[in-house]
Amino acid sequence: MITLGKAINMGLRRALTEDPKVLVMGEDVGKLGGVFRVTENLQSEFGEDRIIDTPLAESGILGTAIGLALRGYRPVCEIQFDGFVYPAFDQITSQLAKMHARSLGTLKLPVVVRIPYGGGIGAVEHHSESNETYFAHTAGLRVVTCSNPNDAYWMMQQAIQSDDPVIFFEPKRRYWDKAEVNEEAPSLGLHETRTVQEGNDLTLISYGPTVRTAIEVAAVCAKEGRSVEVMDLRTLSPLDLAPVFESAQKTGRVVILHEAPTFLGLGAEIASQITEECFYSLDAPVLRVGGFNVPYPPARLEEHYLPDLDRTLDAIDRAFAF
């Protein structure tokens, strides 16, 4: 059994071993091993030229990573916390995302940006945000998130192998979740949605930190005689919705669960697409459960903000009431 955080570390180590062009860079990623220890012991193994402790400037991390990528390197940047990515926003959205298009395909930027995201760890301000929509809304980026150690291990390697920039969201409150990792072969590609467990009455879609919540919700529903199909999106851009449509057509009821604010969140896009593709199969409108449209609250209030088991069950009840 390996923790999710350790699985990312193992994925990084394997990528660093297999390709000398892979670099890791960020604040405190070297000697400290990152504030979550995700890059632990990498610097002692691969050296300071490849595991780069950077000055404390996020735009600088991304901007120099772009330059390194132009030179043929494959940098993996760590942004220490979700709320600290904004100083690098121009470098990510205007520079990193657009370089391939504006160079008419001549310049590839295989840069991975790791962002520990989401709440639930009792943190101070700017340390608990779910800001994936900004990046999923930006053409030129790929956006993925893992929910379990096996995916964390493989998706990190797949993201590094991608010739496009990948924003890799890591569910920080699940860093310590343990599960088996199969080091032989990945079970899915980077941009594939996983059906976590099958069901017939309702489709519950989630990703990242709330996948575990969704699994717990399905277990409660099962006791109540409701068969819930749980889906883990894994890829937020591009979305892989074909299996979602198939599921929605089977169950007729869909609830989407994520931590990010619901207004213009991924759930809104997915609900819209399900409506377009599965209109005649739906028995209820697609419902969303997510964060409120407020700044992330202080830690002592976060249990109210975070969509939990009860709020999800409530939405499921409403879906069945139609």
Partner 1 sequence: MSELQLVQILSPEGELLTDPEYLLDISTEEIRALYRDLVMVRRFDVEATALQRQGELGLWAQSLGQEAAQVGSGRALIPGDYAFPTYREHGVAWAKGVPPEKLLGMYRGINHGGWDPRDNDFHLYTLVIGAQTLHATGYAMGIQRDKSNNAVIAYFGDGATSQGDVNEAFTYASVYHAPVVFFCQNNQWAISQPIESQTKVALYKRAAGFGFPGVRVDGNDVLAVLAVTRAALARARAGEGPTLIEAFTYRMGAHTTSDDPSRYRLAQELDEWKLKDPIARVKSYLTRNSLANEEFFAGIEKEAEAVASKLRSDIIDAEDPYVEAIFDYVYAEPHPILDAEKSAYINYLESFTEGEKK
127 catalytically annotated: yes
For residue 158, the minimal CB distance to partner 1 (Å) is 11
Q: Residue 45 CB: number of other CB atoms within 10 A?
A: 11
Q: Which of 90, 198, 303, 317 binds partner 1 (CB under 8 A)?
A: 90
For residue 66, the minimal CB distance to partner 1 (Å) is 5
User: How distant, in Å, are the alpha carbons of 76, 146, 311 from that of 118?
Assistant: 20, 12, 17
77 phi, psi to nearest 5 deg: -95, 140
Burial group, residue 205, by CB count within 10 angstroms (0-12, 13-18, 19+): buried
Residue 309 binds to partner 1 (criterion: CB under 8 A): no
Q: Which is nearer to partner 1, 122 or 189 (CB)?
A: 189
The footprint of partner 1 on residues 200-259 (CB under 8 A) is 238-240
The footprint of partner 1 on residues 57-76 (CB under 8 A) is 57, 59-60, 62-73
| Region binding partner 1 by CB under 8 A among candidate stretches 97-105, 201-209, 243-251, 292-300 | 97-105
For residue 152, the minimal CB distance to partner 1 (Å) is 21
Q: Parallel, antiparallel, or unpaired for β 228-232 and 194-197?
A: antiparallel
| Region binding partner 1 by CB under 8 A among candidate stretches 32-40, 88-96, 258-266, 286-294 | 88-96
Residue in 127, 137, 258, 304 annotated catalytic: 127
**Total residue length of the chain:** 322
The footprint of partner 1 on residues 156-195 (CB under 8 A) is 162-164
**Which pairs count as long-range contacts for 132-136, CB under 8 Å and 24+ apart, including other chains?**
132/167, 132/169, 132/236, 132/260, 132/266, 133/260, 133/264, 133/265, 133/266, 134/89, 134/93, 135/92, 135/93, 135/167, 135/236, 135/237, 136/236, 136/237, 136/266
Q: Is 131 helix (H, G, I), strand (E, B) or coil?
A: coil
For residue 97, the minimal CB distance to partner 1 (Å) is 9
Residue 302 binds to partner 1 (criterion: CB under 8 A): no
Residue 105 binds to partner 1 (criterion: CB under 8 A): yes
Residue 30 binds to partner 1 (criterion: CB under 8 A): no
Residue 104 binds to partner 1 (criterion: CB under 8 A): yes
Q: Which of 87, 186, 285, 297 binds partner 1 (CB under 8 A)?
A: 87
Q: Which of 26, 30, 33, 140 binds partner 1 (CB under 8 A)?
A: 140
Q: Which of 94, 182, 187, 293 binds partner 1 (CB under 8 A)?
A: 94
Best CA proximity match to 283, nearest among 238, 250, 234, 242: 250
| Angle (nearest 5°) at CA 165 between 97 and 10 | 155
AA identity, residue 94: S
The answer to whether 169 touches 115, Cβ cutoff 8 Å, is yes
The catalytic site residues sit at 127
Binding site for partner 1 (CB under 8 A): 49, 54-55, 57, 59-60, 62-73, 87, 90-91, 94-95, 98-108, 139-140, 142, 162-164, 238-240
